[in-house]
Amino acid sequence: MTLDRAQREFLAESAEIVDHLSAGLAEIDRQRKSGPPSPAKTNEIFRYAHSLKGLAGMFGIDAMSRLAHQLETLFDGLRLGRVVLTDDTMELVYACTDLFARLLADLKDGRESDAATVAAITARLATASKPRAGAQSAQHGELRLAPEALAALTEYEEHRLAENLRLLVPVWRVHAPLALASFETELTQLNTVIAEVGEIITTLPSTDDTGKFIIFDIVFATSIAKEQIAMRVLPLGNYAVERVDGAPVLKRAAPSLPLNLANDDDIATLHQMSDTVRVDIRKLDELMGIVGELVLARGGLARVTNELKSEIGYQGLAVDLHRLVRTLERRIVDLQTAIMQVRMVPLGQVFERMARTIRRTATTLGKEVEFDVVGEETELDKLIVQELVDPLMHLARNAIDHGIETPELRVANGKSPAGRLRVVAFPRGNHVIIEVSDDGRGIDEVSVKRTALERGVVDEEHVGQLTRGEVWNLIFAPGFSTRKEVTETSGRGVGLDVVKTNVSKMSGLIDVESQPGRGTKFTITLPITLAIIQAVIIRCAARVYALPLASVLEIVEVQQADLRRIEGKEMLELRGQTLPVLRLDGLFHPGEGSLSQSVDGAVGFAAVVGLAQHRAALLIEDVLGQQDIVIKSLGAFLGRARGIAGATHLGDHETILVLDVGALVSERLISDDGRTRTVAA
Amino acid sequence: MHCNVHLPGGHALHAGASLGDTVHMSVAVAPPYALIVDDSASARAQAKNALEEAAASLGLKLVIDEAASGMEAVRALATNDVCLLVVDLHMPDMTGLEVLSFWRSRPRGEGREYRAVVVSSDVSPRDWERAQQQGARCFLDKPLSAEALATALAGFYASPVAAQTGGTP
């Protein structure tokens, strides 16, 4: 039986819900071993059953719709406390979930389903859903909540309120006016910190008079003290936290607007608000800048201490100073971490937007895509997350447009009709790695080469010598697009070079790997923040430079014997790999090639630096140390100096230049012969 | 039956025996904005088709937008003048009642009609009563059919008096 598109969509969405359902049930089964299962989970399962019923009804699959309806009824009873979850019921619910999976499989394969089993389980579920004797709908007492808030409570929410009050769990309300521009992120954060310590009962949005905010009243139950609640909520904003149950407490004028909107005559409110303030991200940047300066001052102090130690030995004042410097160091790190924490936002928001884009794109292009996300809780600097939206959307669209095949073609190639698009984010040291992979057709080497030749990205002479990795990297070249026609979704005349440029702007790297017929994986490596970076301080061509640690893969000792000339280009042989050699004097002082002759013959160092798949060896004379630095712009006149990212201070008032590895590597690779010659790792 | 009907967006509808054939646009205004809120993609797609069909059968022009969560709905309601809201009661982040309550708190344009339809495959009488208090005018079963929606829409725009005085759907 061939399925039409709507049926495939139904199957995919239903299968996803059944997966959630069985995961949720396993969780409930685990929880009930040590007490009553969490109401939130029970409600979640109720919703899954509800969605499944809706879907099955929509597609006219009556047996499944009835089964889901009974499961929904059972969980409605459970969540409203009318039914108790026994071992037998749990068994039954598991059997029901298995049956859903089997019904979906039957449907997919065009088999007739076993109607008797479905009827039997449906009937047993109906019996299990019978309310227990003495169960009554709960009534909650007086609550200090606005009538609008009470009116919008569903039966379930009302029941949860009553249950919490019955168990003497205090009920609270957070009143949060969130900026219209960004309320999704803020509300998610607020919900997260509250859900960690309590049960959220309702989130009621309302309109404020200025039109700049959306007011959210979050009502929740928790046993933790008010101070602890405030401490959790405080970092997110100055929101009034009030207990709404029990004896009335002295009502204080709750601030309902952030500081910048308060009237001058609103003095009482201003006093209340001195606990917390909403902060503009630019102010955080400023603060981070000051911490950066502190870091530098500490560097200077450490240097003076070391000099003192070498002069008078480790004794007397030198010991005291040494200890003080260490304490200062720790406090500065704490401060830096604290400020950084404020700037961090989870990637989940971006992934959600991605999911929407993917759905739309897939529908437009008539493809089926399953989207998987791992690591949505991974945090990154807010500014980086903002900048990441476009590149990720582009990669997603690109994967669906060029990577994932049509369902027909996929089936013909022995794949499942729905393509899989997977985004995985995880932290690694001071970096966050985001992988975007699909199981589509992969990158067609021949087609890439042909296009590269047509567009003059590479010439006839070199195209034959490119390795697979080098070919893949051609797709990042400006103006490259393997599609002949411009497609509506991802072919707006911009290619992956824009993605690469954007990622580089954030000091990130992008890599691509592909297996023809099996799929493509893009890997983006990003620093957690741009505010302060770690750098290696090096001496090279008689000058001191800072080399951002993020782009250094390793630093090795080199002998003259390791350097080779291949086709007139200087290359470094390293563990069987050949890397092009970068000499700063050659780049910064063309014509004075003799400046660093000292390296020749003598032992020096090479920093292996990388830009995506491009690697090069930067010859350096000495490694002086490692340090946190704050990059300062060179200003409008010098700002465009090639190979220089900016300047920074060392602790001893010395100003040094920070190398722009990305620019240096591309410069070297292009300057070779006026064509892109890439060298893969 | 012969009455003058105000369509959302200021279109005047002179309704005779049939609603469809006598549509008369008196003012050129942006078509009313409709929002479908449901966390299921299939359900949204289906509701959109049904709504398009229902609107077409009545000669109504609608701009139809979708929201996949309570938060998306709040964003859409805060940035557009949503005149027709089709909402499911059960969603992960907010309930349909909360979305309805927010929609009611929005400032409303004069002379415009605001209508909400609650779509759910199962709603307890108590929650349906609450939804009505929050301004829902009609309750439809899932799956949503174009015919049922068309009947509801015709009801909305044919009985402005009943709507203003809070009559039953």
Q: What is the pLDDT of residue A194?
A: 92
Residue B90 has its nearest CB partner, among A13, A50, A69, at: A50
* Residue A80, min C-alpha distance to chain B (Å): 12
Residue A58 has its nearest CB partner, among B42, B78, B127, at: B42
For residue A71, pLDDT beyond 50? yes
For residue A424, pLDDT beyond 90? yes
SS3 assignment, position A85: coil
Query: Residue A642's pLDDT band (boundaries 50, 70, 90)?
Result: confident
CB contact under 8 Å between A13 and B98, yes or no, is: no
Q: What is the DSSP letter of B23?
A: B
CB contact under 8 Å between B122 and A72, yes or no, is: yes
Q: How many percent of chain B have pLDDT more than 70?
A: 74
Residue A359 has its nearest CB partner, among B41, B79, B122, at: B41
pLDDT in tens, B83-94: 899 999 888 889
What burial letters (b/e) apply to A212-243, b meaning 16+ CB within 10 Å? ebbbbbbbbbbeeeeeebeebbeebbbbbbbe
Q: Which residues contact B84 (CB under 8 A, 6 or more apart)?
A: B8, B32, B33, B34, B35, B62, B114, B115, B116, B117, B153
Sign of the torsion formed by the C-alpha atoms of B7, B12, B17 and B22 = negative
pLDDT in tens, B81-140: 888 999 998 888 899 999 999 998 888 877 777 888 888 767 788 888 888 888 888 888
Return the minimum-mean-pLDDT range out of A64-73, A323-332, A501-510.
A501-510
CB contact under 8 Å between B93 and A203, yes or no, is: yes
CB contact under 8 Å between B121 and A54, yes or no, is: yes
Most confident of A562-566, B10-14, B131-135: B131-135
Beta bridge partners, A438, equal A421, A520
Contact with chain B for residue A207, Cβ under 8 A:
yes
- Whether B134 and B100 have beta carbons less than 8 Å apart is answered as yes
Beta bridge partners, A213, equal A179
* Residue B149, min C-alpha distance to chain A (Å): 15
CB atoms inside a 10 Å sphere around CB A126: 14
> Who has greater pLDDT, A528 or A43?
A43
CB contact under 8 Å between A214 and B89, yes or no, is: no
Q: What single-letter amino acid sits at A531?
A: A
Q: What is the pLDDT of residue B87?
A: 92
CB atoms inside a 10 Å sphere around CB B38: 29
Return the minimum-mean-pLDDT range out of A99-113, A462-476, B39-53, B97-111.
A462-476
The pair phi, psi for residue A406, each rounded to 5°, is -70, 155
Span A327-348, average pLDDT: 83
pLDDT in tens, A461-473: 777 777 777 788 7
CB contact under 8 Å between B90 and A203, yes or no, is: no
Question: Residue A585 corresponds to which tokens in the numbers above?
Answer: 């004097």
- How many pairs of residues across A and B have Cβ atoms under 8 Å apart? 108
Residue position matching structure tokens 């990130």: A508
Residue position matching structure tokens 């023809």: A516
Q: Which residues contact B58 (CB under 8 A, 6 or more apart)?
A: B19, B20, B23, B150, B153, B154, B157
Instruction: Name which of B48, B49, B89, B101 to mutate to probe chain A: the one with the most chain A Cβ atoms within 10 A of its Cβ.
Output: B101
Q: What is the pLDDT of residue A205?
A: 92
Query: Residue A134's pLDDT band (boundaries 50, 70, 90)?
Result: low
SS3 assignment, position A574: strand
Question: Residue A599 corresponds to which tokens in the numbers above?
Answer: 């390296």
Q: How many percent of chain A have pLDDT more than 90?
A: 10
Query: H-type helices in A399-494, by residue range?
Result: 407-412, 445-454, 460-463, 468-473
Q: What is the pLDDT of residue A70?
A: 92
Residue position matching structure tokens 């007086």: A142
Distance CA B133, CA A428 (A): 52
Q: What is the pLDDT of residue A661?
A: 79
Query: Residue A138's pLDDT band (boundaries 50, 70, 90)?
Result: low
CB atoms inside a 10 Å sphere around CB A369: 23
Q: How many CA atoms lie within 13 A of A641 on its CB side?
A: 18
Q: What residue of B is the nearest CA neighbor of A53?
A: B121
Q: pTM of the entire structure?
A: 0.47
CB contact under 8 Å between B134 and A51, yes or no, is: no
Strands of A132-184 (E only): list them. 171-179
CB contact under 8 Å between A183 and B93, yes or no, is: no
Q: What is the pLDDT of residue A289?
A: 77
CB contact under 8 Å between B101 and A152, yes or no, is: yes
Query: Residue A202's pLDDT band (boundaries 50, 70, 90)?
Result: very high
Distance CA A508, CA A392 (A): 13
For residue A32, give the H/E element and its range: helix A5-32
Sign of the torsion formed by the C-alpha atoms of A344, A350, A351 and A352 = positive
Distance CA A454, CA A440 (A): 25
- Nearest residue to A128 via CA among A156, A87, A80: A87
Instruction: Name which of A43, A55, A187 to mutate to probe chain B: the one with the most chain B Cβ atoms within 10 A of its Cβ.
Output: A55
Q: What is the pLDDT of residue A636?
A: 63
* Residue A349, min C-alpha distance to chain B (Å): 12
Contact with chain B for residue A100, Cβ under 8 A:
no
- Whether A516 and A523 have beta carbons less than 8 Å apart is answered as no
Q: Which residues contact B37 (CB under 8 A, 6 or more apart)?
A: B66, B67, B70, B72, B73, B85, B86, B87, B88, B91, B96, B99
Span A627-652, average pLDDT: 72
Span A83-107, average pLDDT: 88
CB contact under 8 Å between B74 and A214, yes or no, is: yes
Q: How many percent of chain A have pLDDT more than 70?
A: 84
For residue A219, pLDDT beyond 90? yes
- Whether B106 and B134 have beta carbons less than 8 Å apart is answered as no
Which residues on chain B place their C-beta less than 8 Å from a C-beta of chain A?
39-43, 45-46, 68, 70-71, 74-75, 78-79, 88-95, 97-102, 105-107, 120-122, 124, 126-127, 130, 133-134, 142-143
Q: What residue of B is the nearest CA neighbor of A212?
A: B78
Span B20-29, average pLDDT: 43
Beta bridge partners, A214, equal A178, A207
Go through chain B and tell me how many residues it has: 169
Strands of A470-590 (E only): list them. 509-515, 519-527, 533-540, 543-548, 552-558, 563-566, 569-574, 577-582
Residue B42 has its nearest CB partner, among A10, A53, A203, at: A10
Q: What is the pLDDT of residue A591?
A: 57
Angle, CA A630 vertex, CA A626 and CA A635 arms, to 5°:
130
Give the A window 2-21 contacts with B, CB below 8 Å: 6, 9-10, 13
Q: What residue of A is the nearest CA neighbor of B135?
A: A152
Span A237-241, average pLDDT: 85
For residue B163, pLDDT beyond 50? no
Question: Residue A237 corresponds to which tokens in the numbers above?
Answer: 């904003």
Residue A154 has its nearest CB partner, among B97, B105, B143, at: B97
Residue A152 has its nearest CB partner, among B39, B92, B98, at: B98
pLDDT in tens, A400-416: 888 899 899 999 988 88
Angle, CA A545 vertex, CA A540 and CA A546 arms, to 5°:
130
Return the minimum-mean-pLDDT range out of A286-300, A532-546, B2-16.
B2-16
Query: Residue A576's pLDDT band (boundaries 50, 70, 90)?
Result: confident
pLDDT in tens, B147-157: 888 888 888 77
CB contact under 8 Å between B40 and A180, yes or no, is: no
Give the Å distances, CA to CA, from A636 to A45, A82, A230, A501: 59, 71, 46, 20
Query: Residue A3's pLDDT band (boundaries 50, 70, 90)?
Result: low
Give the Å distances, CA to CA, from A342 to A279, A281, A328, A339, A613: 10, 9, 21, 5, 33
For residue B164, pLDDT beyond 60? no
Query: Residue B74's pLDDT band (boundaries 50, 70, 90)?
Result: very high
Distance CA A507, CA A525 (A): 9
pLDDT in tens, A350-381: 888 788 788 878 888 888 888 888 888 888 88
Query: Residue A580's pLDDT band (boundaries 50, 70, 90)?
Result: confident
Contact with chain B for residue A47, Cβ under 8 A:
yes
Q: Which residues contact A674 (CB under 8 A, 6 or more apart)?
A: none
Q: What residue of A is the nearest CA neighbor of B119?
A: A54
For residue B168, pLDDT beyond 50? no
Q: What is the pLDDT of residue B3?
A: 36
- Which residues from chain A sit within 8 angstroms of residue B76, using beta carbons? none
Distance CA A468, CA A464 (A): 11
For residue A598, pLDDT beyond 60? no
CB contact under 8 Å between B71 and A153, yes or no, is: no
Residue B130 has its nearest CB partner, among A154, A191, A214, at: A154
Angle between helices B70-79 and B96-105 (to 10 degrees): 10
- What is the ipTM, given to two decimal places? 0.76
Residue B78 has its nearest CB partner, among A152, A154, A180, at: A180
Q: Burial of A593 by CB count in 10 Å (0-12 exposed, 13-18 middle, 19+ buried)? A: exposed
Contact with chain B for residue A478, Cβ under 8 A:
no
- Whether A285 and A631 have beta carbons less than 8 Å apart is answered as no
Distance CA A458, CA A449 (A): 8
Span A134-151, average pLDDT: 72
Q: Which residues contact A34 (CB under 8 A, 6 or more apart)?
A: none
Distance CA A277, CA A259 (A): 7
Q: What is the DSSP letter of A322?
A: H
Is the peptide bond prior to A590 cis by the omega test (within 30 degrees of 0)?
no
CB atoms inside a 10 Å sphere around CB A260: 8
Q: What is the pLDDT of residue A637?
A: 65
CB atoms inside a 10 Å sphere around CB A564: 12
Query: Residue A651's pLDDT band (boundaries 50, 70, 90)?
Result: low
Residue position matching structure tokens 């309750």: B139
- Whether A185 and A163 have beta carbons less than 8 Å apart is answered as no
Q: What is the pLDDT of residue A140?
A: 63
- Which residues from chain B sit within 8 angstroms of residue A57, using beta carbons? 121, 142-143
Contact with chain B for residue A218, Cβ under 8 A:
no
Mean pLDDT score of chain A, rounded to an integer? 79
Span A591-615, average pLDDT: 63
- Which residues from chain A sit within 8 angstroms of residue B106, using beta carbons? 207
> Who has greater pLDDT, A153 or B6?
A153
